[in-house]
C-alpha cells in the first residue's frame, strides 16, 4: 500500500463517518418535523394549572438577545400557540407580556408563579405570591403583546420575539380562583431546513468518500513510457 492510498482511504473513512452522522441526524430532524399537527405545530397535551389567587403566571421565559435569532432573524423563533379553557365554563383570559410589565401588573396581589413543569407524569411547581390587592381586569391592563379571552376554549397565537416574557392565565373578570386546562404548541420553523441541510451535506460527503476510495484503489501511476529494446 502506497502513502497515497493510505491517505485516500483514511480520508474516505472520515468522510463516510461524518456523512453517516449527518444523514442520520437529518433523518431524525425530518422525522420529528413530520410529527407536527395539521396546523404545523408541536403541541403538548392539555394540563391543569390552578391558583387560589388572581392569576397563574410563568417565570421569565428568556428569549436570548444574543441567540440564533440575533444572527438569523426573527423568523428563527417561530410562533407559540396557547389554548386555555377554564374549569366550570367560566370565561378565561390568556396573555403574553414582558415579564417586567407582568410583575408590575400583579404586584401586591395573590397569584401563583409556575417555576417548573414535568410532563411524564405531569407536575407543575408553583411559587406563591401573597398580597391583598386585586389587579385590574386583564383585558384593560394594556400590557399584552398577544391575548385571548372569552368563554370556552381560547387560542392565542404569538410571534416569538427576543426579550423576557411571561404567560398569564386569569379569569376574564379578574376574580380569584383560577383553574384552567392549558396546551402549548410551537411550530419550530428551522427544523425542516436544518434536516434537509444535514441530509444534503451528508450526501455530498458520501460522494467525496466514494471519490477518495476510487482514487485510493488505483495503483501508483506509471511515469514515463516503457523503454523499447535496443536493436543493433
Per-residue cell: 40: 404545523
Kindly tell me if the per-residue pLDDT of 6 is higher than 80: no
Neighbours of 147 (CB within 10 A): 19
The answer to whether 167 touches 94, Cβ cutoff 8 Å, is: yes
Predicted confidence (pLDDT) per residue in 39-78, tens digit: 777 778 889 999 999 999 998 787 665 444 444 444 556 8
Residue with cell string 386555555: 84
Quick one: pLDDT at residue 195?
74
> What integer is the mean pLDDT of 122-144?
93
Task: Find the largest Cα–Cα distance for the chain.
Answer: 121
* Ramachandran category for residue 188: left, alpha or beta (phi over 0 → left; psi -120 to 50 → alpha): left
Of 104, 110, 107, 114, the C-alpha closest to 130 is 110
pLDDT digits over 190-215, tens only? Answer: 666 777 788 888 888 888 888 878 87
At residue 191, the pLDDT reads 66
Q: Which residues of 103-131 are buried (b: 16+ CB within 10 A; e: fewer)?
A: eebbeebbbbbbeeeeeeeeebebeebee
The reported pLDDT for the residue numbered 226 is: 47
Q: Which is nearest to 156 in space by CA: 165, 164, 142, 144?
A: 144
Q: At what angle do helices 191-217 and 3-33 cross, to 10 degrees?
A: 160
The secondary structure of residue 107, as a DSSP letter, is T
State residue 103's pLDDT score: 95
**37-186 classified as CATH 2.60.120:** yes
What value does the mean pLDDT take over residues 15-27? 84
User: For residue range 70-107, what is the model confidence (pLDDT) as tens digits?
Assistant: 444 445 568 888 999 999 889 999 999 999 999 999 99
Name which of 166, 110, 161 is nearest 143 in CA terms.
166
Q: Name the residue ranges covered by the structural domains of the chain.
A: 3-26+192-216, 37-186
The single residue listed with the C-alpha cell 500500500 is 1
Q: Which helix (H) or strand (E) holds 33?
A: helix 3-33
pLDDT in tens, 146-199: 999 999 999 999 888 888 999 999 999 999 999 999 988 887 676 667 777 888
Is residue 23 within 8 Å of 231, Cβ to Cβ?
no
Q: What are the residue ranges of helices labelled H in 35-151?
A: 68-72, 99-106
Cell digits of residue 164: 423576557
Average pLDDT of the residues in 137-143: 94
pLDDT at 231 over 60: no
Distance, CA of 134 to CA of 175 (rounded, Å): 8
Q: What is the pLDDT of residue 33?
A: 65
Amino acid at each position: 500500500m502506497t502513502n497515497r492510498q493510505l491517505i485516500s482511504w483514511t480520508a474516505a473513512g472520515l468522510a463516510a463517518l461524518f456523512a453517516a452522522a449527518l444523514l442520520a441526524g437529518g433523518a431524525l430532524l425530518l422525522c420529528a418535523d413530520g410529527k407536527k399537527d395539521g396546523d404545523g405545530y408541536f403541541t403538548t397535551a392539555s394540563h391543569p394549572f390552578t391558583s387560589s389567587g388572581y392569576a397563574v403566571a410563568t417565570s421569565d421565559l428568556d428569549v436570548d438577545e444574543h441567540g440564533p435569532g440575533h444572527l438569523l432573524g426573527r423568523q428563527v423563533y417561530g410562533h407559540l400557540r396557547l389554548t386555555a379553557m377554564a374549569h366550570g365554563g367560566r370565561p378565561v383570559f390568556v396573555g403574553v407580556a414582558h415579564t417586567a410589565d407582568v410583575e408590575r401588573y400583579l404586584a401586591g396581589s395573590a397569584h401563583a408563579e409556575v417555576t417548573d413543569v414535568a410532563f411524564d407524569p405531569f407536575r407543575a411547581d408553583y411559587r406563591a405570591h401573597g398580597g391583598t390587592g386585586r389587579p385590574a381586569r386583564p383585558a384593560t391592563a394594556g400590557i399584552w403583546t398577544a391575548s385571548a379571552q372569552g368563554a370556552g376554549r381560547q387560542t392565542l397565537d404569538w410571534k416569538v420575539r427576543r426579550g423576557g416574557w411571561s404567560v398569564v392565565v386569569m379569569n376574564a373578570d379578574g376574580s380569584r380562583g383560577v383553574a384552567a386546562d392549558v396546551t402549548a404548541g410551537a411550530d419550530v420553523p428551522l427544523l425542516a431546513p436544518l434536516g434537509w441541510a444535514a441530509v444534503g451535506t451528508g450526501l455530498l460527503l458520501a460522494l467525496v468518500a466514494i471519490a477518495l476510495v476510487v482514487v485510493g484503489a488505483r495503483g501508483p501511476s506509471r511515469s514515463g513510457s516503457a523503454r523499447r529494446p535496443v536493436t543493433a
